[in-house]
Amino acid sequence: MTTNIKSKSVAGSGVAVTTSATSRIVAVHAYTTATGTIDITDKNGSVIKFQVGASNTADIYIGELGVKCDATISVSAPGTGLVTLFLG
């Protein structure tokens, strides 16, 4: 079981993690002020993509194996809001 969970938050869109190593996303919490798609990418392209309604939240639990991401992890979100990635 993963014990070294870290959280990284991005306001709106931007880079969440800058590294050359591999990370695993085990959960995502998102809030945005506009309806649209939140896209989480690594050096190879999109790894997680989901829809959020205006002024709504989304909580996604992936599990301890997580989604593998290589190198820098970026977030693209509609409007303003906050996307928090939980990495293990």
With respect to residue 20, please indicate whether it lies within any of the assigned structural domains.
no
Assigned domain for 56 exists: yes
As for how many domains the chain has, the answer is: 1
What are the C-alpha distances in Å from 74 to residues 1, 3, 33? 26, 23, 19
Map residue 53 onto helix, strand or coil.
coil
Residue 57 falls inside a structural domain: yes
Q: Band of the pLDDT at 46, cuts 50, 70, 90?
A: very high
Residue-range definition of the domain harbouring residue 34: 26-83
Tell me if 11 is assigned to some domain.
no
If you average pLDDT over residues 7-27, what whole number do you get? 89
Whether residue 35 contacts residue 54, with contact meaning beta carbons closer than 8 Å, is answered with yes
pLDDT one-digit tens code per residue, 25-44: 999 999 988 999 999 999 99
Would 4 be classed as within a structural domain? no
pLDDT reading at 3 higher than 70: no
